[in-house]
Structure 1
């Protein structure tokens, strides 16, 4: 264990070829930890595998559960490395994940949240995919628990096409393969850089995912359900403000897409479309040639006017019917909410996602 308030070793052990490290950050996880670690024990992977756990200032019975499974896993031939932050204050998920990685030795990293459960074939199938896709984050399909929670989100996670894993990275859903499903090479992880350690309220997974894409990383999904993904009020993601996510998304959109566009249309002349317009840099606001919508009242209104500052004259931006809109478009309409009507309208325009439009919903 690390010294009080500290972390594990500051430098990573030398990676062992063909070796997979399962990375588990833990903070007050006793309610789920038994089932989580049991799923490590049940893996059918025939290569070498280790478990690297970092206990971030837990005050419940998590440490005892970890020690119990350490004995059981090592008896089964799976080494277990345990580090801890023994201070009174947790340092956060990003810090705990970084420390679990640093103390591990695998050529490949398999991320697992302490409240989730892996299917027995997960490590084997993602390892096989990672060999074929060396600069990728490998994900998988998931089963949500409870089943009725976040149904639209779960459908989105599981049904994205291979192309959409990269084109839909700007949506409010976050990474197109969710963090607890990530599997990647150790070399690529350190090429991208560590997780942000800002702590509570920082979307460390989203920021890492954006860096990954900016550095030329790809995204691949194993099209099988390999993870039971739990939804509960204690999840760390609930501490992140929507506005924080929004601001990161806008900056990423500007950097990856809008920088190369000379003009574009925003699809949605309502609240979300106008919010996006106001959130853009002054240079990118000037590129907005129109809004488009299906709402006749908004279209009849004719223009959207926004006062950028007292010194700058108010721009009057036309509002058009979506069929009269000129691509490229940034679409601020939420998917899977209109009984297929929006999707049908979009399909009827015969546009190509990733070239003529991107979703920002």
Structure 2
């Protein structure tokens, strides 16, 4: 049995400006037993160099290269490599508070839920504020709920604030779109 509690999937594509701060936020997590799967989706900048440096320095960081296929494709690519009891996605231009994964994991263990959703804050160099998208969802904390009890959950369309039990994720066969089309064909 694996001693990995949470596998963090970080898709990477030309984010050298943000990547180090993102990965450092994972190094600083208070939860022990995290693995980080860094999926380089064909970056052409120095992102690979930064990710490989973390892999060399931290034994729980693993670097994978694949040809560019888009964000969803990179997330899907990582799933067979997940060893954690739970998995979560983190965009490579985001950071996570140091206690976030520990709180989410402990709540998952306490409740037995297959999915835990965390609140989201936005920030810049001068301030922090609530995410408008997530305000509708996080008016209160719930240990157990579902979409019929709390229909506003439909507003939370992000993947990176959800901790999934890996067995549940694989059983349901969640999958991201391989390519997202921005044109409407007539």
Compared with structure 1, are the counterparts of its residues 131 and 120 closer, same or farther at alpha carbon in structure 2 (3 Å cutoff)? same
Contact 2:10 2:38 (8 Å CA) reproduced: yes
Aligned residue for 1:35? Answer: 21
Q: Does 1:119 align with 2:97?
A: yes
Gaps of 5+ in 2: none
Q: Does 1:109 align with 2:90?
A: no
Aligned residue for 2:151? Answer: 168
Gaps of 5+ in 1: 1-14, 202-238, 242-361
The higher-RCO structure (CA 8 Å, 6+ apart) is: 2
Aligned residue for 1:137? Answer: 115
Q: Distance in 1 between matches of 2:11 and 2:101?
A: 18
Cα shift at 1:154: 4.3
Q: Secondary structure at the match of 1:159?
A: coil
Aligned residue for 1:64? Answer: 49
**Pairs within 5 Å for 1:159-198:** 159-160=139-140, 162=142, 166=147, 167-169=150-152, 171=154, 173-175=155-157, 178-198=158-178
Aligned residue for 1:51? Answer: 36
Cα shift at 1:134: 3.5
Cα shift at 1:149: 7.8
Q: Distance in 2 between matches of 1:38 and 1:170?
A: 30
Task: Specify which of 57, 60, 66 is matched with residue 85 of structure 1.
Answer: 66
With structure 1 as the length reference, what TM-score do the two structures score?
0.45
Q: Secondary structure at the match of 1:16?
A: coil
Contact 1:111 1:179 (8 Å CA) reproduced: yes
Compared with structure 1, are the counterparts of its residues 240 and 28 closer, same or farther at alpha carbon in structure 2 (3 Å cutoff)? farther
Task: Specify which of 26, 33, 50 is matched with residue 12 of structure 2.
Answer: 26
Contact 2:15 2:93 (8 Å CA) reproduced: yes
**Pairs within 5 Å for 1:204-353:** none
Q: Count residues in correspondence.
A: 179
Contact 2:36 2:62 (8 Å CA) reproduced: yes
Q: Secondary structure at the match of 2:39?
A: strand
Q: Secondary structure at the match of 1:158?
A: coil
With structure 2 as the length reference, what TM-score do the two structures score?
0.82
Cα shift at 1:34: 0.7
Q: Report the aligned-residue RMSD.
A: 2.7
Contact 1:200 1:240 (8 Å CA) reproduced: no
Q: Distance in 2 between matches of 1:139 and 1:22?
A: 15
Structure 1 segments, 4+ long, off by >4 Å, are 147-151
